[in-house]
Every structure is written in structure tokens, then in C-alpha cells.
Amino acid sequence: MAPGPFITVPSHLKPAGTSGPDLLAIERRKASFDTQQMAEYLHGKSFLERQAQLVELLSNDPVLEKSGLNYMGRTDKFRWALAKDKRLAVLAREHGWDRETANHAETLCDTPGPFGLHKSMFITTLDKMGTDEQRKAFLEPALRYEIIGCYAQTELGHGSNVQGLETTATYDESTQEFVLHSPTLTASKWWIGGLGRSATHAIVMARLVLKGKMGGPHPFVVPIRDPQTREMLPGCTIGDIGPKQGYQSTDNGFLLLDQVRIPHFNALARFAKIEADTAVYVPPKNAALTYGTLTWVRANIVRQAAMVLMRSVCVAVRYCAIRRQFADKDSPKFEGGKPIETQVLDYTMVQARIFPVLAKAFAFHYTAKYMFELYEQNVSGIDQGDLSLLAETHASSSGLKALTTIEAAESIETCRRACGGHGFSMASGLSSFYNDYLPNVTWEGDSYMLSQQTSRYLMKTARSIKADFDGPKRSFTVDYMRRYIRDPQAKADIEFSGDLLDPLMFIKAFGHRAAYLVQHALELRDGAAKRSWNSLLVELYRCSKAHSQALIVYNFGMAIFNDKELNSKPALRTVMQQLFLLYACHVMSEEGAEFMSSGYITPRQYHLLQGKAQEMQATIRPQAVALVDSFAIPDFLLNSALGRQDGRVYESLFDHAVRDPLNSTKWNVDIESDTLDMDGTLPKSHL
Amino acid sequence: MAPGPFITVPSHLKPAGTSGPDLLAIERRKASFDTQQMAEYLHGKSFLERQAQLVELLSNDPVLEKSGLNYMGRTDKFRWALAKDKRLAVLAREHGWDRETANHAETLCDTPGPFGLHKSMFITTLDKMGTDEQRKAFLEPALRYEIIGCYAQTELGHGSNVQGLETTATYDESTQEFVLHSPTLTASKWWIGGLGRSATHAIVMARLVLKGKMGGPHPFVVPIRDPQTREMLPGCTIGDIGPKQGYQSTDNGFLLLDQVRIPHFNALARFAKIEADTAVYVPPKNAALTYGTLTWVRANIVRQAAMVLMRSVCVAVRYCAIRRQFADKDSPKFEGGKPIETQVLDYTMVQARIFPVLAKAFAFHYTAKYMFELYEQNVSGIDQGDLSLLAETHASSSGLKALTTIEAAESIETCRRACGGHGFSMASGLSSFYNDYLPNVTWEGDSYMLSQQTSRYLMKTARSIKADFDGPKRSFTVDYMRRYIRDPQAKADIEFSGDLLDPLMFIKAFGHRAAYLVQHALELRDGAAKRSWNSLLVELYRCSKAHSQALIVYNFGMAIFNDKELNSKPALRTVMQQLFLLYACHVMSEEGAEFMSSGYITPRQYHLLQGKAQEMQATIRPQAVALVDSFAIPDFLLNSALGRQDGRVYESLFDHAVRDPLNSTKWNVDIESDTLDMDGTLPKSHL
């Protein structure tokens, strides 16, 4: 529960002018569509029902009360999150939640906790990579929380490059044990969520040493703490890695292993395995299968990015509809005869910053949907031995992970800044959200590195089309590349502003640009210059970005053509078309240099795009509050004085202020005095 | 002092491969110039000497020991900063520091404290706007810290727009008192540094009410807390506004005034004043004078932005020289016969992200220098009644404030991300730095709003040249606009990559682009379309940005031509030319869409610029560590495990980890248990 209040604010004082609630009510009446209908279209009825039930349950649970979080230091935040994770585990059991419901509850609580990796990577890995006996031994107690696990791959000196890991697992045939060992300081496992203070077990990725020969990495289940005493087991040095920019509530940890022996049984053995008697390594039958899981993880990242955009723009739009600043000299407004300041949301410079985020939320939404569909297709394809879709899906998912996480992080900050000074208060709800989201850009493959996987596929595809134009099987990528090669000098078919109304025009344009960039990079790599891969990383990054944007424009555009549910609801379809146009014009003019330098558009067409983007901002303006309402983000999740559904911004900021525990002390500012508070209990130096 | 250590790490373990210290030593040997000479050129010998003395003093003072800060919650951070500010006040007195030295010490301590606004705005305002009697009454005790002040302008509902303030100061002629009052909740003073828990006095900006008529804002000295008991004075409701994304160590506060009476004497009266007997408002003689101070403040912001870039890129460059990741398949490297991973600094994608920051640090440095020169010229000009420079200086300073703060904030994050996973640790030193720097984008005029002041001046200048080509007096702006109007169809004089070596080419190009954008906006505003100011804010923002970039390119380029000291040191001049070329090519290709869409450059020239930027990155690569060394940022300020001068990155990260107080508790993860630690002292719920 929030502390305080430590100060009493005169209750007769109200904010000046039209109240926040009234302003939002006025905005909500402007909508041309039904908010609830849009919410159901976006999220589905069952999601909304489940969310309502969960919010009811969670928001009334005293253990899960969030309003004190902003005032807590790191240790208290961790303590809160541990209590929360224990409570969620009990609730999940009591209510028989399936995994999706448990995840939804976790999302709503919105504070990464010590059991996060236990519930995701630890359990998933045991489930997917453990034999039946291993599942029985480890997965079952894990599901009952009798053991708490983590997933220890990253090392102090080694992140994305799994081949660079230093931790070794040397097989001792005489005892049929693996000896796990950290030979150096940089071999220490590092950043491992839940390891620092919580886990009893770790899945350790270590390089196999068999008969004195170093092999590749393999996962082992290693007991690290005594579940009863909580003491570190012999040979293990474990701790929390210290405070981070976000994720304060999680105990990311380190682990040094000093010749720790585990039985042969603890090497996960469902796919690759080591023969106990012969010490022979048996490789997995089909390495491609792991790509399936990866696609699913990345589809989730894209969906999460869409949710990030929705949440941040919801705060910015609602607050900017309430906040007023400066009078508009060209067209002054009045209230009760007095001149009033303009709603910040009416400034075109504010619109130009946050409405693209609004449109992008829908854009990412459709691509997340597409990724899940692809995942399903892949799964059934693999079941039937068809791996044809796999490479394309994997490549696209890498590029999308990079693009959407970078843009989502940027969008939170864009929205925070649009909230002006109050955006900097923790009460905005955007600061801790930003800091907790930020690692997404770096983990699961650093976004700037990861995009190379996309470009590598794009280069390969371009090469095979070059070798045999009709050879490669049709796909999104192959299609736009073939179209480009048929007519590399193609020009955008835009003469008047009205020509921009056709989504196909944008789909073609983004495909052309992506293909152009790939051909250009390929020429530098394979042509006379024979440039090294490293010297081309910037060009390759551009290829991946262009490909990902093309895919997003394609999915958004095709939804407008083909999405049956959307097309059956004209009011939704109309606003969605406007959002598409805003998104496409915005991105195309943002990337204008590439479109112009490829010769695809002229300066005049570039100006038309800019003009249309601004026109669409004005069109979206009256719908903005209703659109963010349709994202259906409950106040419990939003946790924002600025973005709250009822618009009581200023009252809520005051409430946040008077509860700060700093207000409970009278401080001693006398520079001659050696104490820091008026009671004289806080000495001057050292903490 | 840092707590702990709570865990012991085996001391025989070392990082793998060549050590950080050795790697940095190798890098340092690559430099083509003398680091110390560059440092002296950049900062001046006296600055470096003063810094060395201060670091020696401060880093050995136990009260100022910073290594525990990352582990502290908000209240402890505030307590630390209060102790620090008290200590600095005593040291300043003991050592007889002048203001510059005191500021330097403050900068080195790098933690905004409760006396920050007392030392800056409170004292400056009393000094500049107080009469001699008022200075005696308020300034003198303030300088002795007998009273602690703050500057209360911003209100809960009103930020940048001073005309919108709601707090009133009604003059009561009968008692010759002003009655200060907050009529609404939104009238509450808000965000005021030092007000929350520390200040005894506030300079309150309030709207004058004279004989029942509402006038403009005026500053008043208002006693708000009893200096002895620290109780709020009658009529004052005061508190801290609660935690923020950064600035945790400062007590930004709120203040509600309920009919608080102060004597007529407390209205600051050096310029504008109110006659005590007649209640007549006497306006200031010369409003332009205030622009002088503003220019000085903004020149400082530009200088600070340069320092921000230096500090963040110093961390990134040193760490990326030590960090290795992935082997380069095209040209594998070996150490002792074994293949080794590539230094991250060798990846062109990393170079493309952080070397432009490196070059920009120098670019901003020269423009800060120029701004201070302009300020001096203005001051002596004003003394002689010459106000001609004022408008241009003020306009440029607004645009530069906007551009440099936005880019500095972005650069910290760019550098943090280039540090990969470890960039997210508080041990990077970049996270708290980012969060504390961030408000610069919003305060002193929101950067997105403020740029309108620049564009307004640009539009006005363009109009007067249009009206009378030879009329306006020469200035930077007038010059590039005239050049444009003489030949609006001018094209860049670039045929070969070698043509890019001429700084003048870039100076002309950036001037042309700025003038083009202004003419374009002017046409929309004054031409047939008669567009409203609000509808043009995006275009106007672009004008301001283009103008500011033109100024930065101009100052950097001219330094290479004209700076005598630089030209007397060939080794420095050579690397500076490379940095200029990198900066100019980078920005010009970043802004390529505008250069192309104005018809000034062709797609081919755009590709030449991109190529040259990459070429310059490779040229700068071997100089990078030496260049960041030349920024002369002491470890005491840097406070970074990743960026430390000696390169002991991994040892330092471990040290940061084992000291986290979270490691001092054994936590209870049993979901059935109601306590959270193994001693059973922490109950499950509520904090």
C-alpha cells in the first residue's frame, strides 16, 4: 500500500478550468466508431473478459497493491516482487490457471520478479529438451515450485555468441559424472534472472569436454543452492549482479563453478545426448526444430512491442488532451468569456510525434498476428516434413525483433517527452516502464547484431534469384525481389495526393526499396569490390530494416483488403484506413532519403507524402482518445497519474507527491551541523 | 562508502585473454597525436590543473564517497546529496573557491542536490534583480547559507508559458503588503528544486494584481519555512513532489500559498517595480537585457551537451575496445595460436553508432566556444547601447538549446546500447547519467516548443531580406539567406569523393538547406495558402534544426580554417579535420532527404557522402581511445566500471555485484511460507 499521506492538501482546491474528466468526456464523444467494438476486434472478447476478471482479482489483493512501488529502493522492490511471485504461484494453483492466464496475470502485475525465468525458460527448456525421466525428476517439482530454476547461458565476457562460452562440462567416464567448471573470471554466468538470490537449480549451458576434446555447448541441470537452508552448494559462488537501469525487482545473478560434479542424468538428453558408457556425443536429429520455438518467442516480442506502443501512447494522448499550454494566437479559444490555453494535443508538432506511435501500434498488431499465423503454419509444416517456410520465417522474425524493440523503446520515450515536465515524474508510469522494457533491445540477440541474420537470408535469396530467376519458391521476399529485378528503374505511381490512397502503392514501394538495398549490398559484396562482411554491416542493417518495414506495411495493407472481420465493420475499417495511410506516409517520408536515392520517388512526391502524413494527423485528431481507449489498458496496468482513464491528472499527481516518504522527515540544512535531520538521528557522512 | 562485500569471489580467477589494461595500452600506442596536448587545447591548462586539484580533494573526502550511490533508494540518495551539498558549502568557504571553481566541484560530484537552485537561480536572481537593500537583506545571508532559497516559477498546470501562471500577488495599499495566493490546485508551484524539503525562502513568480487589475508576472521573495524549527510558515503547504526518473537526490517541491502576506520590500525591484504608495507599476527600462543572461545560460547548456557527449562516448569507446564478441570469419584473428573474438570497436555497425558521437563532441565544443564569444560581444555591445547582435544571438541560442539537448540525451543512450548487456548495469555509469541529464530536453523551455523562437526570427529575417535585399545588417543568418536568394537553384559542388575535403562546401550546403526550408515555410505562411502558425510547427521545427546544424558546421569548419592554436599543432589539426569530415558527412547523409528534396544534391552525391562517412570511421578507429582520453574525464566523475581509465572492466563489475545489499539477505522462496527471508523477519505483504 502507498505510504502516507504525510502532508494534507486543502481539499477545497480544484484544478482550474474544465476538469480532466469533462475534457476526456468531450473527446470521447468525437469518435466516429464504437470503442468497445474496436477493443473486441483488436483483442477478442475472451481476452477482454479474462482481463476484467483478473483485474478484479489482482487489484483487490493487498499483496499485489502497486501504489507503493515508486517510493521503494531496490531491496524493497525485490522484496515486493518476491511476495508477488509467491502470491501469483498460489493464485495460479487455486484458480487452476492455464499458462496463458498466468502470463496475463503476470503482465498485469507489470513488475519483473524472481520467478520470471523459472516460469519461462527453465520450465520450457525442461519440457522441450528433457527426456521423460528428466521431466519427472525436474519439471514436476518445478511446476510445484518445490525447486526454483533459472537459465544460465550468458557469461560475464560472452553474450550473444554461444560459441564463445568458457564454462566447461568435462565428462568423467570413471564416475559417469560431468564436472562443471568456470576457468576464468569472464566465464562466470552473468545476468541470469532469478539466479542471484532465488534459484535452487540452474540450467547451465557449458561446452562439452569429451575424452579431452572440446565440443559445443550443451544444457545441464545443476543444483546450486540447498532448498532448505538456502546456502550455496559446495563449489558454487553465487550472487546478485547489482542494481540495473530497470528490472530492479529481479535478482539477475552470477555463478562461478569450481569443479562441480553432477550425475550423467543431469545432461538434458531429449535431442542431443552423450552416451554414458562410451562418452560419445549423439547430435540432434533435426536442428531446424529449434527455429520453431524461436519464431514463437519472437512473435511474442512483436506482440509485446505493439502493446508497448499502445500503453505509452495511451498515456500521452489522454494527458495531452487534458494539458493546456499557450494560447493559439491565430485562433484563440475562450471558456466562459476568458481566453484559454490550447490543448497540447492540438499542436501539430505534438501530433507529429505521438500519432505515428498510435498508427504504429496498429501496424505492429497486424504483423504480430501474421507472425503467429506463420508459426502455426510452420508447426504443421514441420510435422509433415515441410521445412520450406522455416528460413524465411526465421529471417523475418530476426529483423522484426530488431526493428520493433528499437521502435517500441523509442516510442515510450517519445510519449514520455510529449507529456512535458510531468512525463519525468515516476507518476507518469512511463519512466519505470521504459527502464523495464529497455533490455528487450539488447537481449534475445542484440538488435543491431541480430539483423545480420535477416540480411544474410536476403543476400542468399537475391543470389539464388540471380542464378535462376524462376528457381526459388514464391514467398514474400522472393516476390518483391523478382518484381524489382523485372523493373529496377520502376517509379512510384504518385502524381496527385489522391494517388496515396492505394495501399498497394505502398506495398510495392517498400518492396522496391528493400530489393534495391539488397541488390546494392550484394553488388558490393559479390562484385568487383569484394567488400568484407564487416565493412558492409551498415548497409546490411539497412536491408534488414527495409525488409521488416516492407513486411509491416504489407501486413497492415493486406488487412485492409482482406481482413473479413474488419471489412464487416465499416466504422472500424474507415479509421483503420486512415491509420494505415498515416503510418505508411510517415515511415516513407522518414525513410525518404532511401526512396529518393534509389530513384523511386522524386522530391515532389516526397513532399506529397509529408503533406499527406500531416493531413492524416489532423484526421486522426478527433479519434485519438477513443482509439487509445480501444486498446483497453486497465488503470491497474497503466499505473499512471497522467494516463488514467478518468482524467483526474492533477489530483493524482498531488496524491503521488504527498505520499513520498521523503516528506516524513524534517531535514537539517544548517551547513555547520553534523546531523542531517532535525531529530539529530541521521549523522552527516557515510551510508 | 560502498557496502559489503557480502560475497567472496575466488581471487585467483582472472578475465580470459589479453587484459583490459593491456588492450587499452595497445590502443593508446596507436594515436598519431599527443593526448595531453589535445586535452590542453580543448580545456586549457588551468582547467586541467584545477580539475586535478579538485579530484584530489574531493575523492579523498569520505562525505563525498560515491561508490554507494547505486545501491541507495530515494531517501538515502537525498540524504547523501544533502550531506554532499553541506560539505561543498563548507569546502567552498574554507578554500575560498570562486564561483567557477565551486561549479567545477559540483560537476565532479555529479549528483544534483538540494542546494542546486539556491546556488544558481536563487542567488543569481537576487543578485541581478534585487536592489542594493534587497541584496543586503537576502543575498548576503543566502551566500552564507543562513537562508536556503529556491526559484518558484513553474506551476502544476503551467510550464513554459509564464503568462499562464495562476498564482497572484495582490497589493494591499493599506498595509503596503503583497498577498500571495494560489486560487486553484493547478496554481500550486511544482517541480521547484530545493523547495520540497530544504528551502527557507522562495522567489515566487506571481501575477501582479494592482488596484483590482491583473497584470503580468513579477518575482517576490517569500519566507516559507522557519529556519530554526523547519516548520512550514502559516499559509504555506509545502512538500516534495515525489520520485522522478532521475534527480532522485533533489527535493523538487510544491508550494500552495493561502493568502500569505509579505512586505512591499520583498518585491524584487531593480528593474520593474511597484510604487509603494501609489501602487503604480514601473516597467523595466530595457527588457532586452534579460536576453543577455539567457544567452549565457544557453551557452552553458551547449557546453554541457558537449561534455555529455564526451563522457558517454568515453565509456563506450573504452569498453568496446576491451569487449570481444564473435570471430570475424572474413579475417580471423589469433592470440597465442588460438582464434579470438573481435574487439567490438572493430565492427563497422558499432563505429557507425558511436563515432558520430565522438565527432559531435568536438562539433558542439566549438559552438559552445562561439556562443560564449557571442555573449561577451553582446555584453560589451549592450554596454555601448548596441543591441544589433541580440536578436540573432537569442534566436540561435534557442535553436541550439533544443538541438544539443535532444542530441546529447540520444547520444548517452546510443553509447549505453553500444555497451551491450553491461550497458544496462548501473555500473556502466550511463544509466543514472542519462536519467539525470534527461530533464534538460524539457526544462528551460521544452526543446520542441523553444525552437519556434528560432524559426520566428528566421521567418522575420527572410521577410526583411525579401522586402529589401541589402537592408538587413550582415550576420550568419542574413549571409546564408542572401546567398540562397541569389541562386536558389544552386547545386552542391561535389563530383568526386575528394571534393568532400573542403569545409566550405559543407558550410555552403547547410546554409542553402536552412534557407531553402525557411523560404518554403515562409511561402506557406505568407503565400496564397496563408497557413496558420500551428499548422506549420513541423516545418518550423525543421527550419530551427537546419539553422542550428548550419551554425555548428560553420563553427567547426571555421575553427579548422582560423583557429590559431589548432593550426599551430599539425598533429591535432589533422585529426580534427578528419573529425570534421566525419561529422559533416554523417549529418548531411542523416539529413539526406532534405538535401535531396531541395534539389541541392543528387542521389549519387548522397551515396558519396555515406561512403565518405564510413571511410572516416575507419580513419578515426585507431585514434578513438586516445581521443576519448583527451577529453580528460576523471574516473571520479565517470564513475563507470566499463569506462574506467585503467580498463579493469570485469573485475570492477564483480566488485559492483558483490557489494549489493540484496546479497546480504537469505530470501525465502517457499510459496507456502508467509515470510520473505529465512530469518522470518520480513512478512509477506505490505511495505
Q: What confidence tens digit (pLDDT) does each residue in A373-429 have?
A: 988 888 887 777 777 788 888 899 999 999 999 999 999 999 999 999 999 999 999
Give burial (CB, 10 Å; 0-12/13-18/19+) of A21.
middle
B8 lies within 8 A of chain A by CB: yes
Amino acid identity for residue A545 in this structure: K
User: What does the block give as the cell for B294?
Assistant: 539567457
CA–CA separation, A126 vs A136, rounded Å? 10
Please check whether residues A348 and A204 belong to one and the same domain.
no
Check CB contact under 8 Å for A197 and B614: no
pLDDT at site A296: 84
Question: Cα angle vertex B414, ends B417, B113, to 5°?
Answer: 95
Please check whether residues B583 and B604 belong to one and the same domain.
yes
Check CB contact under 8 Å for A346 and B246: no
Question: Cα angle vertex B507, ends B505, B511, to 5°?
Answer: 115
Check CB contact under 8 Å for A657 and B431: no
Reduced to 3 states, what is the DSSP secondary structure of residue A294? helix
pLDDT at site B687: 45
Q: What is the band of B35 on the pLDDT scale with cuts at 50, 70, 90? A: very high
Check CB contact under 8 Å for B114 and A614: no
CA–CA separation, B95 vs A107, rounded Å? 55
CA–CA separation, B75 vs B337, rounded Å? 54
Residue B335: count of CB within 10 angstroms of its CB: 12
> Is the torsion defined by CA of B169, B172, B173, B177 positive or negative?
negative
Percent of the residues in chain A that have a pLDDT greater than 90, as a whole number: 85
Cβ–Cβ < 8 Å for B187, B166: yes
Check CB contact under 8 Å for A187 and B16: yes
Question: Cα angle vertex B123, ends B133, B121, to 5°?
Answer: 135
Check CB contact under 8 Å for A671 and B90: yes
With respect to residue A11, please indicate whether it lies within any of the assigned structural domains. Answer: no
Residue A127: count of CB within 10 angstroms of its CB: 15
With respect to residue A497, please indicate whether it lies within any of the assigned structural domains. Answer: yes
User: For residue A208, is pLDDT > 70?
Assistant: yes
Cell 549451458 belongs to A205
Residues of A belonging to the active site: 444
Q: What is the band of B547 on the pLDDT scale with cuts at 50, 70, 90? A: very high
pLDDT at site A686: 45
Q: How many Cα atoms sit within 13 Å of B418 on the Cβ side?
A: 33
* Contact pairs from chain A to chain B, CB under 8 Å: 449
Cβ–Cβ < 8 Å for B358, B418: no
A353 lies within 8 A of chain B by CB: yes
Q: What is the pLDDT of residues B166-204, one digit of tens each?
A: 999 999 999 999 999 999 999 999 999 999 999 999 999
Q: What is the band of A269 on the pLDDT scale with cuts at 50, 70, 90? A: very high
With respect to residue B563, please indicate whether it lies within any of the assigned structural domains. Answer: yes
Q: What is the band of A307 on the pLDDT scale with cuts at 50, 70, 90? A: very high
- Helix count (H) and strand count (E) of chain A? 24, 13
**Nearest by CB to B184, which of A15, A185, A231?**
A15
**Nearest by CB to B242, which of A159, A446, A656?**
A656
With respect to residue B56, please indicate whether it lies within any of the assigned structural domains. Answer: no
Cβ–Cβ < 8 Å for B504, B529: no
Q: What is the pLDDT of residues A573-628, one digit of tens each?
A: 999 999 999 999 999 999 999 999 999 999 999 999 999 999 999 999 999 999 99
Check CB contact under 8 Å for B157 and A678: no
CATH number at residue B582: 1.20.140.10
With respect to residue A426, please indicate whether it lies within any of the assigned structural domains. Answer: yes
- Residue B150's H or E segment, with its range, is strand B149-152
Best CA proximity match to A588, nearest among B175, B92, B597: B597
B contacts of A86 (beta carbons < 8 Å)? 669-671, 673, 684
Q: What is the pLDDT of residues B6-27, one digit of tens each?
A: 999 999 999 999 999 999 999 9
Give the mutation candidate from A353, A354, A660, A674 for the B interface (greatest B CB count, under 10 A): A660
Q: What is the pLDDT of residues B412-470, one digit of tens each?
A: 999 999 999 999 999 999 999 999 999 999 888 888 888 899 999 999 999 999 999 99
* Domain end position, chosen among A591, A610, A628: A628
Q: Is A124 annotated as a binding residue?
A: no
**Nearest by CB to B244, which of A6, A166, A424?**
A424
Chain B stretch 357-416, residues whose beta carbon is closer than 8 A to a beta carbon of chain A:
none
Concatenate the DSSP letters of all residues of B592-636 into one string. Answer: HHHHHHTTSS-HHHHHHHHHHHHHHHHHHGGGHHHHHHTT---HH
With respect to residue A49, please indicate whether it lies within any of the assigned structural domains. Answer: no
User: What does the block give as the cell for A683?
Assistant: 549523522
B contacts of A641 (beta carbons < 8 Å)? none
Best CA proximity match to B439, nearest among A374, A76, A422, A582: A422
- Residue A217's H or E segment, with its range, is strand A213-223
Percent of the residues in chain A that have a pLDDT greater than 70, as a whole number: 98
pLDDT at site A681: 74
pLDDT at site B218: 96
Domain that holds residue B356: 291-326+340-628
A contacts of B166 (beta carbons < 8 Å)? 16
Please check whether residues B520 and B607 belong to one and the same domain.
yes
Please check whether residues A384 and A279 belong to one and the same domain.
no
B contacts of A166 (beta carbons < 8 Å)? 16
B148 lies within 8 A of chain A by CB: yes
Please check whether residues A303 and A155 belong to one and the same domain.
no
CATH number at residue A183: 2.40.110.10
- Helix count (H) and strand count (E) of chain B? 24, 13
Please check whether residues A218 and A307 belong to one and the same domain.
no
**Total number of domains constituting chain A:** 2
Nearest CA in chain A to B591: A593
A215 lies within 8 A of chain B by CB: no
Give burial (CB, 10 Å; 0-12/13-18/19+) of B338.
exposed
CA–CA separation, A319 vs A324, rounded Å? 10
Please check whether residues A264 and A299 belong to one and the same domain.
no
pLDDT at site B686: 44
Chain A stretch 594-623, residues whose beta carbon is closer than 8 A to a beta carbon of chain B:
596-599, 603, 606-607, 614
B225 lies within 8 A of chain A by CB: no
With respect to residue B54, please indicate whether it lies within any of the assigned structural domains. Answer: no
Check CB contact under 8 Å for A424 and B438: yes
Give the mutation candidate from B241, B410, B415 for the A interface (greatest A CB count, under 10 A): B241
The distance of A36 to chain B (nearest Cα, Å) reads: 32
**Nearest by CB to A164, which of B341, B417, B651?**
B341
With respect to residue B331, please indicate whether it lies within any of the assigned structural domains. Answer: no
* Contacts of B580 by beta carbon, 8 Å cutoff, 6+ apart: B359, B362, B363, B503, B556, B557, B560
B532 lies within 8 A of chain A by CB: yes
Chain B stretch 102-131, residues whose beta carbon is closer than 8 A to a beta carbon of chain A:
114-115
pLDDT at site B383: 75
**Nearest by CB to B678, which of A1, A230, A439?**
A230
Q: What is the pLDDT of residues A349-358, one digit of tens each?
A: 999 999 999 9
A contacts of B589 (beta carbons < 8 Å)? 593
* Contacts of B240 by beta carbon, 8 Å cutoff, 6+ apart: A657, A660, A662, A663, B196, B197, B251, B252, B253, B254
B contacts of A614 (beta carbons < 8 Å)? 535, 538
> Would the pTM count as exceeding 0.80?
yes
DSSP secondary-structure letter at B22? H
B213 lies within 8 A of chain A by CB: no
Q: Is A242 annotated as a binding residue?
A: no
CA–CA separation, A418 vs A316, rounded Å? 6
- Residue A218's H or E segment, with its range, is strand A213-223
CA–CA separation, B566 vs B568, rounded Å? 5
Nearest CA in chain B to A242: B657
User: What does the block give as the cell for A333?
Assistant: 479559444
User: What does the block give as the cell for B316?
Assistant: 563506450
A contacts of B74 (beta carbons < 8 Å)? 71, 73, 660-662
Chain A stretch 22-61, residues whose beta carbon is closer than 8 A to a beta carbon of chain B:
none
Check CB contact under 8 Å for A676 and B83: yes
Cell 569548419 belongs to B557
The distance of A66 to chain B (nearest Cα, Å) reads: 10
**Nearest by CB to A349, which of B183, B541, B684?**
B541
Please check whether residues B236 and B353 belong to one and the same domain.
no
User: For residue B28, is pLDDT > 90?
Assistant: yes
Q: Average pLDDT, whole number, for chain B?
A: 94
Check CB contact under 8 Å for B671 and A238: no
Q: What is the pLDDT of residues B498-515, one digit of tens each?
A: 889 999 999 999 999 999
CA–CA separation, B205 vs B220, rounded Å? 6
Please check whether residues B370 and B316 belong to one and the same domain.
yes
- Across B284-306, average pLDDT: 81
Nearest-Å Rg of the Cα atoms of chain B is 28
- Across A92-102, average pLDDT: 96
Please check whether residues A257 and A305 belong to one and the same domain.
no
Q: What is the band of B134 on the pLDDT scale with cuts at 50, 70, 90? A: very high
Give the mutation candidate from A185, A319, A434 for the B interface (greatest B CB count, under 10 A): A185
* Domain end position, chosen among A251, A285, A319: A285
Predicted ipTM? 0.96
Give the mutation candidate from B109, B153, B662, B673 for the A interface (greatest A CB count, under 10 A): B662
Cβ–Cβ < 8 Å for B169, B209: yes
The distance of B126 to chain A (nearest Cα, Å) reads: 20
pLDDT at site B84: 97
CA–CA separation, A633 vs A108, rounded Å? 9
CA–CA separation, B554 vs B572, rounded Å? 19
Please check whether residues B356 and B268 belong to one and the same domain.
no
- Across B660-670, average pLDDT: 94
Residue B567 CA to its chain's centroid (Å):
29
Check CB contact under 8 Å for A157 and B538: no
Best CA proximity match to B322, nearest among A126, A640, A157, A639: A157
Q: What is the pLDDT of residues B308-349, one digit of tens each?
A: 999 999 999 999 999 998 877 777 778 777 778 889 999 999
Please check whether residues A321 and A251 belong to one and the same domain.
no
pLDDT at site A25: 97
pLDDT at site A382: 75
The distance of A248 to chain B (nearest Cα, Å) reads: 10
Q: Average pLDDT, whole number, for chain A?
A: 94
Reduced to 3 states, what is the DSSP secondary structure of residue B197? coil
The active-site residue out of B65, B341, B444, B615 is: B444
Check CB contact under 8 Å for B157 and A666: no
pLDDT at site B214: 94
Q: What is the band of A337 on the pLDDT scale with cuts at 50, 70, 90? A: confident
User: What does the block give as the cell for B173?
Assistant: 495599499
**DSSP-H helix ranges across A442-599:** 447-467, 476-486, 503-526, 537-562, 564-567, 570-590, 592-597
> What size, in residues, is chain A?
687
A contacts of B117 (beta carbons < 8 Å)? none
The distance of B45 to chain A (nearest Cα, Å) reads: 33
Check CB contact under 8 Å for B16 and A76: no
* Domain end position, chosen among B628, B657, B681: B628
CA–CA separation, A304 vs A399, rounded Å? 15
